[in-house]
Structure 1
């Protein structure tokens, strides 16, 4: 089985993802990846990279070899990738089983760690990332829904961001 290529920071994003994204095609691809990650019955290889990955290919900001959302975006996302890789104690470009990466995330990443690991990420203020990491810590990798408050959740609506 060909490994899924995921950026270091996307190892955390998948747990907080609620349907927001840069374009409809990006959201669709991210949901595919997120669904596989959250399926506790599936285990598969993931190559962890600090570069464009399988989800980036559907983002309107990807270039041939780098993120081109703005002049500093590639440097910023690579920095986040490298911080997450170091924090998890794994190696860039190596292949790990999904179950091992989820276990390491649950053991080593606390919601407040995202303030450093994901500093200046435009999605961090929404709070869904910290909520997702808290769920993983509590054994809720599948991100099973909470009781509805009657308001639309982020998973019930789409939100697109240009940068």
Structure 2
């Protein structure tokens, strides 16, 4: 994965050091055992307009991509597809930018389960605007499509703190 900016480079380098020093990258006990573990995010993108579908996550109190913790022994890409099925009720179409993660972040969590670090792999799945999503009411208040203008107009603290950088990397990738 080619880093988008210096912060992603730092996150990738730190993640590689972490992977060299541990054999346990999976969350074993909620919320924070071990205190750092893998997450697969899946940003749903409308292929023509490039709007994104985000969910109002109850626990985090933020608008986030779907996704979740990678289960022990699970491949992160399989986790991304599983989370999309469980949280939105759709099958993953990774054809827009490919099946590999587009972005990597290391984030100290916020919300009810704060106090641990998520190493998040950001995947991109395509879905048309007329998709019928079946949101998990235990995890999300609601979901909606966001245009780039909607995202730019949202107050600070609305999204994952790394989302604007992800959006810029995605936009650059979709232009090529």
User: TM-score over 0.5 for the alignment?
Assistant: no
| Length-normalised TM-score, structure 2 | 0.29
| Length-normalised TM-score, structure 1 | 0.30
